[in-house]
């Protein structure tokens, strides 16, 4: 009998609970035992009560609840081989032969490393007499599948990550509330949203609320951005608009890699010699990732969780039949179809965007993004 474990890792996102529910129930449906690994990789390294057999009823009520009931953590030990060795031992001791990990690009990089190292970890466990040859025999191959849980929608190879649309809706709801005050007092608001290397949330929120101006990391403003924004805001005000909304991603930059902060934008809009607008800053922070998962993320978590179980079972079948073990995959959604993508290619492309932004090669960053960014 296959034993399929699910884990949530890295930053939490709405929909992770839906993933846990879908994986547990699909695994049971397919005749497997389902396990939850608590607190991300930390749970693998700790073992014991961190790895629990989970039944159908245990995940009742999980679908719409934000965050992750089985916990998530950053685990330093897993960056080291020694930590991964202990993780491998705990998996074998629990009889787990398939692992489904829902997390961001860091978690998925860890997953890929774990699988690549697996045969040598197993050998080492025998060589150091932590486990016997007999014990490790059924666990020579590890099948891992990734699911992307991230509010930033920052992973290449998929149109949407689990949690992104809920975070976007949260931003819109917050801005709708802020707009009441903005319109009443004729104020300007500079709203900071999450996204260090990825402007998807800022850009889509800006479109969805009709912002006056948007700052994203991938497409920095030109050197004359200050004049540009003042001109746009003035034009809108001249047209009779009583509110000004500027959306700025955490990672917003100018063309030379200098950070553009909400304070800089506020000072500009409030400048007595210029627009002299009564300007406030609102940093939405963790409100963005909280609350119940939206309908889209519940759907994505469920369909992708089901596909992840199918993918690990397909891999197990191939191995059993003596065929080559399929490449580790991450489950995506592309043009409304649930897909399997090579995990490392998706992670590598994601990291390339971050590197391009850090190196201020913005044209490259833009060309690597799957989303078409409006001018």
Catalytic residue numbers, as ranges: 152
Q: Which is nearer to ligand ADP, 149 or 262 (CB)?
A: 149
Spatial contact of 159 and 335, defined as CB atoms under 8 Å apart = yes
Work out whether 38 is an interface residue with ligand ADP (CB under 6 A): no
Angle at which helix 105-127 crosses helix 343-358, to 10 degrees, equals 130
User: Which of 8, 10, 92, 233 forms a contact with ligand ADP (CB under 6 A)?
Assistant: 10
Query: In the block, which residue shows the tokens 């990825």?
Result: 198
Q: Which is nearer to ligand ADP, 221 or 369 (CB)?
A: 369
Nearest to 83 by CA among 30, 28, 43, 116: 43
Partners of residue 60 on adjacent β-strands: none
Interacting residue with ligand ADP among 103, 220, 305, 332 (CB under 6 A):
103
Q: Across-strand partners of 8?
A: 102
Return the closest-CA partner of residue 95 out of 145, 164, 35: 35
Q: Are 168 and 291 in contact (CB under 8 A)?
A: no
* Span near ligand ADP by CB under 6 A; candidates 55-63, 104-112, 158-166, 167-175: 104-112
Nearest to ligand ADP of 64, 103 (CB atom): 103
> Which listed residue (110, 157, 220, 326) binds ligand ADP by CB under 6 A?
110
In the DSSP assignment, the letter for residue 2 is -
Q: Does 41 bind ligand ADP (CB under 6 A)?
A: yes
Residues in contact with ligand ADP, total (CB under 6 A)? 16
Q: Measured between alpha carbons, how far is 308 from 291 in angstroms, rounded to an integer?
A: 25
Per-residue tokens: 246: 């500027």
User: Residues 112-151: x/- map of binding to ligand ADP (CB under 6 A)?
Assistant: -x--------------------------------------
Among 2, 8, 9, 17, binds ligand ADP (CB under 6 A): 9
- The 8-class DSSP code of residue 257 comes to S
Residues found near ligand ADP in the complex (CB under 6 A): 9-11, 41, 74-75, 78-79, 103-107, 109-110, 113
């Amino acid at each position: 009998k296959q034993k399929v474990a699910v884990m949530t890792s890295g930053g939490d996102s709405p929909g992770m609970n839906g993933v846990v529910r879908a994986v547990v129930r699909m695994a049971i449906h397919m005749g497997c035992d389902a396990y939850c690994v608590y607190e991300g990789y930390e749970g693998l390294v700790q073992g014991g009560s961190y790895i629990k057999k989970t039944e159908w009823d245990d995940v009742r009520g999980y679908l719409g609840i934000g965050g992750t009931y089985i916990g998530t953590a950053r685990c330093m030990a897993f960056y080291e081989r020694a930590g991964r060795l202990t993780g491998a031992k705990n998996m074998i001791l629990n009889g787990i032969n398939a692992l489904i990990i829902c997390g961001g690009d860091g978690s998925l990089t860890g997953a890929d490393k774990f699988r690549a190292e697996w045969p040598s970890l197993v050998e080492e466990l025998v060589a150091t007499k932590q486990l016997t040859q007999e014990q490790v025999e059924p666990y020579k191959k590890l099948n891992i599948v990734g699911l992307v849980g991230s509010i930033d929608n920052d992973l290449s190879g998929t149109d949407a990550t689990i949690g992104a649309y809920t975070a976007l809706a949260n931003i819109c709801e917050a801005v709708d509330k802020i707009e009441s005050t903005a319109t009443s007092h004729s104020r300007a608001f500079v709203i900071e949203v999450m996204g260090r290397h990825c402007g998807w949330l800022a850009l889509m929120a800006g479109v969805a609320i009709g912002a006056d101006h948007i700052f994203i990391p991938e497409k920095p403003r030109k050197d004359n951005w200050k004049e540009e924004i003042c001109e746009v805001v003035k034009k809108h005000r001249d047209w009779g608009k009583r509110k000004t909304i500027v959306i700025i991603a955490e990672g917003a930059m100018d063309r030379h890699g200098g950070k553009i902060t909400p304070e800089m934008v506020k000072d500009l809009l409030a400048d007595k010699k210029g627009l002299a607008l009564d300007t406030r800053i609102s940093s939405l922070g963790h409100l963005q990732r909280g609350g119940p998962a939206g309908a889209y993320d519940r759907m994505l978590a469920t369909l992708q969780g089901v596909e992840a179980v199918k993918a690990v079972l397909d891999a197990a079948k191939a191995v059993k039949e003596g065929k080559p073990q399929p490449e580790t995959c991450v489950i995506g959604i592309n043009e409304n179809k649930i897909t399997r993508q090579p995990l490392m290619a998706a992670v590598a492309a994601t990291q390339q965007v971050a590197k391009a932004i850090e190196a201020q090669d913005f044209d490259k960053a833009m060309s690597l993004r799957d989303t078409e960014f409006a001018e």
